[in-house]
Structure 1
Amino acid sequence: MTFAKKLGAALLWIVVALCLAVTLIPPFLDRIYYEGRPSRHYDGAHFFNPDGEIEFSGPPGASRQGFVTRWLLGRDDRPDWPDAIAVKPAQPAPFAAPRGMVATWVGHATVLVQAAGINILTDPIWSDYASPLPPFGPKRVAQPGVRMEDLPKIDLILISHNHYDHLDIPTLKKLWARDRPKIVTSLGNDAILKANGIPAVALDWGRSVSGAQLNGLAPNAVIQCENYEHCPDYRVHVTRAHHWGSRWGTDRNRALWSSFVVATRAGNIFFAGDTGAGDMAWPGEAARLGPIRLALIPIGAFRFWPGQMESDAHIGPERAVQVFERLGASTAIPIHWGTFHLSYEKWDTPPRMLEHYLRCAGIERKRFAPLRIGQAIMVPGYSPVPRRKRRCDHRAIDALE
């Protein structure tokens, strides 16, 4: 037997073993990340979406286990993506001005937002694989839009939930060792972080924490900063999203998922994390916290099977535009696309569909324009988006497939 055949046989056995492990091992990997009183979205053991649970949706006869098996074997028939996307990394300034706001898309759900002298990172991932078992799992096709060594000192990190493409322990360890940032997440995810030596503050939906509290001051302390560099004059609100969480399968929904509103002297920032549509009331809940100058809204990984327009767990471009409208946001950046091959759409389907639905809604492209990885924008001051009559030619969507 040639070396190539021996190697191929060995790899096949490894894949088969992994497929068996997916079935046999998870019962031993359940974890309790949070214990507390039952609530309208926690039954005493698991969190849930009060507006309806996430359901697997796929072609007749399909199953989640079958999808995972086909994915591991490379037989899931997903559209091909480029092997690599050219990226010109940005070199951000140390700070934004006291009333200024600059946002740089690093890739996937990772955005560097610099506002009123504080530097915020959302769901940071610099790893090459979004997986518990690299090199198996989704591999990055585009390098981060900011090199770690070029990243300014980070003051605040938001972690939306515990999926590997959003809670990346290797990256968080590096950032914690370098900058000692404040980390805010939702209930249970702090246990995962603390087990890896990373302190975090975990809050339930509807709760908030001030920068003063995070820095050991009184909750309502008056913050005086001479130049607003690293000034903790902000408040983080943990808000509802429609999603789920898991690290190992059987620990499903042991930790909560969320979106965030960060109130700064330069204006409010909304970060959706990762979310399905649910009852679509959650954008309005976030909007009630005040005008949103910048929204970070996912548009990708919305097809769990070919032809699907969105899944229960992920909004697609059409819903993303509706979220933008319901937030009443002034400017938005589309995220969660073009970095890791997670589902059945082509690499550039999400931004092309987004542009179509923006035209349908009569929204100026510049309000919600797709960025290149590594691209930075100066976020304009808040101005309401004019409401216009929606006109949409759905035949044009078919041409995008």
Structure 2
Amino acid sequence: MAAGKRAANRYYSGPPSDHFDGALFFNPDGKPPGRFADLLKWQLNGGRSKWPAAHPSPYPQAKPDRRVEGKMLRLIMVGHASLLVQTAGLNILIDPVWSERASPLAFAGPKRVNAPGIAFSDLPPLDLVLVSHNHYDHLDLATLRRLKRSHDPLVVTPLGNDAIIGSAVPGIRLTAHDWGDRIEVGNGAAIHIEPAHHWSARGARDRRMALWAGFVIETAGGKVYFAGDTGFHGGTNYRLMAEKHGGFRLAILPIGAYEPRWFMAPQHQNPEEAVQGMKLCNAAHAAGCHWGTFQLTDEPIDEPAQRLAEALAAEGFSHERFRAMRPGEVWDVPSA
């Protein structure tokens, strides 16, 4: 039975673990994605807010420096969950999406309401691309093809996603890893692959065949935690990160795509949970992502930033400690 299950997974084959049953990946002591009937119930509930067709960022498109050296840490928001991290002489791009839609279709699906915060032609030389999982708002093959041609970066991704990327982008430099792995990347830096509470699919028949993850970027200037797409999951993974890494100079945390809670809570945290996550993982500063570019769920476009501000005020934190990042915004993150 186990061998038959493994053969059915088109992306990955390997031994069972505490998050892989021999056929599919899962969230330990967690919850799977909702059923198709639940999806239909949500789509038909009439609770979806109307987003504007265009919602320009208050920031102009950024023009990054070629390199940021030493312990300086610069974060630039591209949009949604796409961000550029510059530190220790490295340029690291996370979940890059420059396409107009987060969709398998060019003519349908969530369409961006603001331009990327960096024009593609203005990207600095890229060393690494981190791809957290295979949902279309995070793994954009069209963008990866462009990056291969223009920059030829090393792509680091969780298990199984290499099969998707490698078959679509021949010759791309690619490495795939499990939760808990650590990869040396030069300049005294390393990437850790860490757990997230989420799921994966590119279509209706490949659910949970590829792994999802967060990343920790370790450099001489401190550690940066990108939580990926994640449900709060009782704070389990945040506590694990604090125990393993001690704390973070910066945590990049999702704050959007959370309504309705009865359907989204296991997979997408809300702003209040993000603030608790910042506390639990012991992050000196945090940047909010996964909001304001692609409408994926029901909440109004500006609600994540508003609720984040309220949650910070309730905890007595400055809004400068946890920024809801907008495309083009550049943040030189203070030392921890």
Please name the residue that 2:89 is paired with.
117
Deviations along 1:287-309, one digit per CA (max 9) or x if unpaired, are 2224311111000000137xx69
Aligned partners of 1:239 and 1:285 also within 8 Å: no
**Aligned pair partner of 1:52 in 5, 13, 30:** 30
Aligned partners of 1:261 and 1:269 also within 8 Å: yes
Aligned partners of 1:125 and 1:167 also within 8 Å: yes
**Aligned pair partner of 1:245 in 200, 207, 228:** 200
Aligned partners of 1:157 and 1:182 also within 8 Å: yes
Matches within 5 A, 1:15-34: 32-34=10-12
Bigger relative CO (Cα 8 Å, ≥ 6 apart)? 2
Distance 2:29 2:269 in 1: 15
Please name the residue that 2:154 is paired with.
182
User: Given the superposition, is the C-alpha separation of residues 170 and 152 from structure 1 closer, same or farther in structure 2, using an over 3 Å criterion?
Assistant: same
Residue 214 (structure 2) pairs with residue 259 (structure 1): yes
Residue 188 (structure 2) pairs with residue 209 (structure 1): no
Q: How many residues align?
A: 324
Question: How far is 1:311 from its partner?
Answer: 1.8
Classify the secondary structure of the residue corresponding to 1:211: strand
Aligned partners of 2:9 and 2:23 also within 8 Å: no
**Aligned pair partner of 1:339 in 258, 273, 293:** 293
Distance 1:237 1:248 in 2: 28
**Aligned pair partner of 1:104 in 62, 76, 80:** 76
Please name the residue that 1:322 is paired with.
276
Question: How far is 1:233 from its partner?
Answer: 2.5
Please name the residue that 2:3 is paired with.
none
Aligned partners of 2:33 and 2:199 also within 8 Å: no
Query: Match of 1:327, as an amino acid?
Result: C
Classify the secondary structure of the residue corresponding to 2:201: coil
Question: How far is 1:63 from its partner?
Answer: 2.4
Question: How far is 1:285 from its partner?
Answer: 2.0
Classify the secondary structure of the residue corresponding to 1:120: strand
Q: Structure 1 segments of 4 or more deviating over 3 A?
A: 65-68
Identical amino acids, percent of aligned pairs? 42
Please name the residue that 1:367 is paired with.
321
**Aligned-CA RMSD value:** 1.9
Classify the secondary structure of the residue corresponding to 2:103: coil
Give the TM-score of the pair, scaled to structure 1.
0.77
Please name the residue that 1:143 is paired with.
115
Aligned partners of 1:51 and 1:279 also within 8 Å: no
Matches within 5 A, 1:126-165: 126-165=98-137
Please name the residue that 2:39 is paired with.
64
**Aligned pair partner of 1:297 in 253, 257, 278:** 253
Distance 1:285 1:184 in 2: 22
Classify the secondary structure of the residue corresponding to 1:381: coil
Residue 58 (structure 2) pairs with residue 80 (structure 1): no
Please name the residue that 1:356 is paired with.
310
Residue 15 (structure 2) pairs with residue 37 (structure 1): yes
Distance 2:42 2:312 in 1: 32
Classify the secondary structure of the residue corresponding to 1:280: helix
Aligned partners of 1:193 and 1:199 also within 8 Å: no
Distance 2:301 2:67 in 1: 32
Give the TM-score of the pair, scaled to structure 2.
0.92
Question: How far is 1:57 from its partner?
Answer: 8.7
Query: Match of 1:52, as an amino acid?
Result: G
Structure 1, unaligned stretches of length 5 or more? 1-29, 213-231, 383-401
Larger radius of gyration: 1
Aligned partners of 2:100 and 2:112 also within 8 Å: yes
Distance 1:258 1:136 in 2: 27
Distance 1:133 1:105 in 2: 25
Query: Match of 1:45, as an amino acid?
Result: A
Aligned partners of 2:153 and 2:173 also within 8 Å: no
Classify the secondary structure of the residue corresponding to 1:380: coil
Query: Match of 2:245, as an amino acid?
Result: L
Question: How far is 1:259 from its partner?
Answer: 0.5
Distance 2:324 2:42 in 1: 29
Distance 2:154 2:221 in 1: 19
Question: How far is 1:54 from its partner?
Answer: 2.6
Query: Match of 1:377, as an amino acid?
Result: W
Deviations along 1:255-299, one digit per CA (max 9) or x if unpaired, are 000011010122111001100112422112222224311111000
Distance 1:184 1:274 in 2: 16
Residue 191 (structure 2) pairs with residue 236 (structure 1): yes
Higher strand share: 2
Structure 2, unaligned stretches of length 5 or more? 1-7
Distance 2:188 2:46 in 1: 48
Distance 2:233 2:13 in 1: 25
Distance 1:248 1:55 in 2: 14
Question: How far is 1:337 from its partner?
Answer: 0.0
